[in-house]
Structure 1
Amino acid sequence: MSMDLPKPIADYVAANARLDIDGMVKPFQPDAVFIDNGKNFEGQAAIRQLFEDEVIPVKAIFTPDTAWEEGDDFVVEGPAHGDFPGSPLRFTYRFKLANGAIKTLETTV
Protein backbone atom coordinates (compact mmCIF):
# COMPACT_ATOMS: atom_id res chain seq x y z
CA MET A 1 0.00 0.00 0.00
CA SER A 2 1.49 3.34 -1.01
CA MET A 3 -1.01 5.62 0.76
CA ASP A 4 0.06 7.87 3.60
CA LEU A 5 -2.31 6.75 6.35
CA PRO A 6 -2.20 7.90 9.97
CA LYS A 7 -0.17 5.42 12.04
CA PRO A 8 -3.06 3.72 13.90
CA ILE A 9 -4.90 3.14 10.62
CA ALA A 10 -1.76 1.94 8.84
CA ASP A 11 -1.02 -0.41 11.76
CA TYR A 12 -4.56 -1.82 11.65
CA VAL A 13 -4.45 -2.35 7.86
CA ALA A 14 -1.00 -4.00 8.04
CA ALA A 15 -2.10 -6.34 10.85
CA ASN A 16 -5.26 -7.22 8.92
CA ALA A 17 -3.15 -8.11 5.87
CA ARG A 18 -1.33 -10.64 8.12
CA LEU A 19 -4.60 -11.73 9.79
CA ASP A 20 -2.84 -10.83 13.07
CA ILE A 21 -5.70 -10.41 15.54
CA ASP A 22 -3.52 -8.92 18.31
CA GLY A 23 -2.10 -6.40 15.88
CA MET A 24 -5.58 -5.56 14.60
CA VAL A 25 -6.88 -4.81 18.11
CA LYS A 26 -3.81 -2.91 19.36
CA PRO A 27 -4.46 0.41 17.49
CA PHE A 28 -7.90 0.77 19.12
CA GLN A 29 -8.48 2.72 22.33
CA PRO A 30 -9.62 0.49 25.22
CA ASP A 31 -13.15 1.99 24.97
CA ALA A 32 -13.25 2.22 21.17
CA VAL A 33 -16.40 1.53 19.19
CA PHE A 34 -16.43 -0.52 15.98
CA ILE A 35 -19.65 -0.07 14.01
CA ASP A 36 -20.02 -2.89 11.50
CA ASN A 37 -22.91 -2.17 9.10
CA GLY A 38 -24.92 -0.55 11.90
CA LYS A 39 -24.07 -2.99 14.72
CA ASN A 40 -21.95 -1.59 17.57
CA PHE A 41 -19.05 -3.44 19.21
CA GLU A 42 -17.85 -1.46 22.23
CA GLY A 43 -14.41 -1.93 23.78
CA GLN A 44 -11.37 -3.94 22.74
CA ALA A 45 -12.81 -7.26 23.99
CA ALA A 46 -15.94 -6.91 21.84
CA ILE A 47 -13.87 -5.78 18.86
CA ARG A 48 -11.53 -8.78 19.31
CA GLN A 49 -14.57 -11.08 19.39
CA LEU A 50 -15.87 -9.53 16.16
CA PHE A 51 -12.52 -10.19 14.48
CA GLU A 52 -12.40 -13.76 15.84
CA ASP A 53 -15.96 -14.48 14.67
CA GLU A 54 -16.21 -12.55 11.40
CA VAL A 55 -12.77 -11.69 9.98
CA ILE A 56 -10.34 -14.48 10.76
CA PRO A 57 -12.58 -17.46 9.80
CA VAL A 58 -13.18 -16.07 6.30
CA LYS A 59 -9.68 -14.60 5.92
CA ALA A 60 -11.14 -11.15 5.16
CA ILE A 61 -8.36 -8.78 4.15
CA PHE A 62 -9.11 -5.11 3.44
CA THR A 63 -6.87 -3.44 0.85
CA PRO A 64 -7.44 0.32 0.82
CA ASP A 65 -7.01 2.14 -2.47
CA THR A 66 -8.48 5.57 -1.66
CA ALA A 67 -8.27 7.78 1.44
CA TRP A 68 -9.25 11.31 2.41
CA GLU A 69 -10.04 13.48 5.39
CA GLU A 70 -13.64 14.56 5.91
CA GLY A 71 -14.08 16.85 8.90
CA ASP A 72 -12.84 14.94 11.96
CA ASP A 73 -13.02 11.62 10.09
CA PHE A 74 -10.41 9.81 8.04
CA VAL A 75 -12.21 7.84 5.32
CA VAL A 76 -10.60 4.86 3.60
CA GLU A 77 -12.14 2.81 0.79
CA GLY A 78 -11.12 -0.36 -0.96
CA PRO A 79 -11.91 -3.99 -1.59
CA ALA A 80 -11.95 -6.75 0.98
CA HIS A 81 -11.04 -10.21 -0.28
CA GLY A 82 -11.68 -13.47 1.50
CA ASP A 83 -13.61 -16.71 1.66
CA PHE A 84 -17.05 -15.08 1.84
CA PRO A 85 -19.94 -14.68 -0.63
CA GLY A 86 -19.44 -11.86 -3.12
CA SER A 87 -15.71 -11.53 -2.50
CA PRO A 88 -14.26 -9.10 -3.21
CA LEU A 89 -16.62 -6.50 -1.75
CA ARG A 90 -15.86 -2.80 -1.70
CA PHE A 91 -15.92 -1.28 1.80
CA THR A 92 -15.81 2.21 3.23
CA TYR A 93 -14.02 2.54 6.58
CA ARG A 94 -14.67 5.77 8.49
CA PHE A 95 -12.16 6.30 11.30
CA LYS A 96 -12.17 8.78 14.18
CA LEU A 97 -8.79 9.06 15.90
CA ALA A 98 -7.93 10.39 19.36
CA ASN A 99 -4.69 10.39 21.33
CA GLY A 100 -2.84 8.40 18.66
CA ALA A 101 -5.39 5.57 18.56
CA ILE A 102 -8.62 4.57 16.83
CA LYS A 103 -11.60 5.91 18.78
CA THR A 104 -14.32 4.85 16.33
CA LEU A 105 -14.36 2.77 13.16
CA GLU A 106 -17.52 2.49 11.08
CA THR A 107 -17.56 0.07 8.14
CA THR A 108 -20.14 -0.03 5.36
CA VAL A 109 -20.41 -1.92 2.09
Structure 2
Amino acid sequence: MSQEIPAAVQRALDAIDALDTDAFVAAFGPDGYVNDWGREFRGPDQIRSWSDNELIGKQATFTNTEVSAPGNPLTIRTQVGGNGFNGPSHFTFDVQNDTLASMTITA
Protein backbone atom coordinates (compact mmCIF):
# COMPACT_ATOMS: atom_id res chain seq x y z
CA MET A 1 0.00 0.00 0.00
CA SER A 2 1.47 3.27 -1.05
CA GLN A 3 -0.69 5.57 1.12
CA GLU A 4 0.10 6.10 4.79
CA ILE A 5 -2.01 3.85 7.00
CA PRO A 6 -2.79 5.01 10.57
CA ALA A 7 -1.20 2.80 13.23
CA ALA A 8 -4.57 1.55 14.55
CA VAL A 9 -5.62 0.43 11.07
CA GLN A 10 -2.25 -1.21 10.45
CA ARG A 11 -2.56 -3.11 13.75
CA ALA A 12 -5.95 -4.48 12.65
CA LEU A 13 -4.64 -5.44 9.20
CA ASP A 14 -1.57 -7.10 10.71
CA ALA A 15 -3.81 -9.02 13.12
CA ILE A 16 -5.94 -10.27 10.22
CA ASP A 17 -2.81 -11.37 8.34
CA ALA A 18 -1.55 -13.18 11.46
CA LEU A 19 -5.00 -14.67 12.20
CA ASP A 20 -4.65 -13.13 15.69
CA THR A 21 -8.11 -12.48 17.12
CA ASP A 22 -6.79 -10.97 20.37
CA ALA A 23 -4.73 -8.38 18.49
CA PHE A 24 -7.64 -7.63 16.13
CA VAL A 25 -10.05 -6.97 19.02
CA ALA A 26 -7.38 -4.91 20.82
CA ALA A 27 -7.13 -2.57 17.83
CA PHE A 28 -10.61 -1.24 18.70
CA GLY A 29 -11.51 1.23 21.41
CA PRO A 30 -13.84 0.04 24.20
CA ASP A 31 -16.90 1.40 22.35
CA GLY A 32 -15.65 0.40 18.92
CA TYR A 33 -17.79 -1.49 16.48
CA VAL A 34 -17.82 -3.43 13.23
CA ASN A 35 -20.52 -2.72 10.67
CA ASP A 36 -20.64 -5.70 8.29
CA TRP A 37 -22.98 -4.76 5.44
CA GLY A 38 -25.42 -3.17 7.91
CA ARG A 39 -25.06 -5.69 10.75
CA GLU A 40 -23.45 -3.96 13.74
CA PHE A 41 -21.25 -5.62 16.37
CA ARG A 42 -20.34 -3.28 19.23
CA GLY A 43 -17.74 -3.75 21.96
CA PRO A 44 -14.97 -6.32 22.38
CA ASP A 45 -17.19 -9.36 23.01
CA GLN A 46 -19.37 -8.80 19.96
CA ILE A 47 -16.38 -7.93 17.77
CA ARG A 48 -14.62 -11.13 18.89
CA SER A 49 -17.72 -13.23 18.19
CA TRP A 50 -18.15 -11.62 14.77
CA SER A 51 -14.47 -12.19 13.92
CA ASP A 52 -14.66 -15.82 15.06
CA ASN A 53 -17.64 -16.41 12.77
CA GLU A 54 -16.89 -14.10 9.83
CA LEU A 55 -13.23 -13.04 9.62
CA ILE A 56 -10.29 -14.57 11.47
CA GLY A 57 -12.27 -17.70 12.34
CA LYS A 58 -12.78 -18.17 8.60
CA GLN A 59 -9.04 -17.73 7.90
CA ALA A 60 -9.74 -14.54 5.93
CA THR A 61 -7.01 -13.22 3.68
CA PHE A 62 -6.66 -9.78 2.13
CA THR A 63 -4.81 -9.41 -1.17
CA ASN A 64 -4.38 -6.59 -3.68
CA THR A 65 -5.09 -4.14 -0.85
CA GLU A 66 -4.90 -0.44 -1.62
CA VAL A 67 -6.10 2.79 -0.08
CA SER A 68 -9.08 4.01 -2.06
CA ALA A 69 -9.95 7.01 0.16
CA PRO A 70 -7.18 8.42 2.38
CA GLY A 71 -7.78 10.42 5.54
CA ASN A 72 -9.98 9.72 8.52
CA PRO A 73 -12.07 7.81 7.91
CA LEU A 74 -9.77 5.84 5.65
CA THR A 75 -11.08 3.31 3.12
CA ILE A 76 -9.17 0.39 1.67
CA ARG A 77 -10.19 -1.80 -1.22
CA THR A 78 -9.13 -5.42 -0.96
CA GLN A 79 -9.81 -8.87 -2.34
CA VAL A 80 -11.07 -11.07 0.51
CA GLY A 81 -10.31 -14.79 0.45
CA GLY A 82 -10.54 -17.61 2.95
CA ASN A 83 -13.25 -19.98 4.10
CA GLY A 84 -16.03 -17.40 4.32
CA PHE A 85 -16.92 -14.51 2.05
CA ASN A 86 -14.70 -14.29 -1.02
CA GLY A 87 -14.65 -11.26 -3.25
CA PRO A 88 -13.84 -7.58 -3.45
CA SER A 89 -14.76 -5.38 -0.49
CA HIS A 90 -14.21 -1.92 0.89
CA PHE A 91 -13.27 -1.51 4.55
CA THR A 92 -13.66 1.97 6.04
CA PHE A 93 -11.86 2.66 9.31
CA ASP A 94 -12.59 5.55 11.67
CA VAL A 95 -9.67 6.15 14.06
CA GLN A 96 -10.11 7.96 17.37
CA ASN A 97 -7.39 8.26 20.04
CA ASP A 98 -5.11 5.76 18.23
CA THR A 99 -7.75 3.02 18.29
CA LEU A 100 -10.45 1.99 15.87
CA ALA A 101 -13.81 3.60 16.60
CA SER A 102 -15.32 1.60 13.74
CA MET A 103 -14.69 -0.65 10.78
CA THR A 104 -17.42 -0.64 8.13
CA ILE A 105 -17.51 -3.25 5.35
CA THR A 106 -19.25 -2.55 2.04
CA ALA A 107 -19.11 -3.67 -1.57
Normalised by the size of structure 1, how large is the TM-score? 0.86
Amino acid at match of 1:97: V
**Contact 1:13/1:63 (8 A) holds in 2:** no
Number of residues of Structure 1 aligned to a counterpart in Structure 2:
106
Aligned-pair CA distance for 1:3: 4.7
Amino acid at match of 1:79: Q
Q: Which runs of 5+ in 1 are unaligned?
A: none
Percent identity (aligned):
25
The CA deviation string for residues 57-77 of structure 1, in whole angstroms up to 9 with x for no partner, is 32112236221325x411111
The structure in which a higher percent of residues are helix is 2
What SS is found at the alignment partner of 2:40?
strand
Residues in 2 aligned to 1:57 and 1:65: alpha-carbon distance in whole angstroms: 20
Residues in 2 aligned to 1:53 and 1:84: alpha-carbon distance in whole angstroms: 9
What SS is found at the alignment partner of 2:84?
coil
- After superposition, the Cα gap between the structure-2 partners of 1:63 and 1:24, relative to the gap in structure 1 and judged at 3 Å, is farther
The CA deviation string for residues 17-47 of structure 1, in whole angstroms up to 9 with x for no partner, is 1110001111100111210010010111100
Q: Please give the root-mean-square deviation of Cα atoms over the aligned residues, in Å.
A: 1.8
Residues in 2 aligned to 1:92 and 1:34: alpha-carbon distance in whole angstroms: 13
Q: Which runs of 5+ in 2 are unaligned?
A: none
Normalised by the size of structure 2, how large is the TM-score? 0.88
What SS is found at the alignment partner of 1:83?
coil
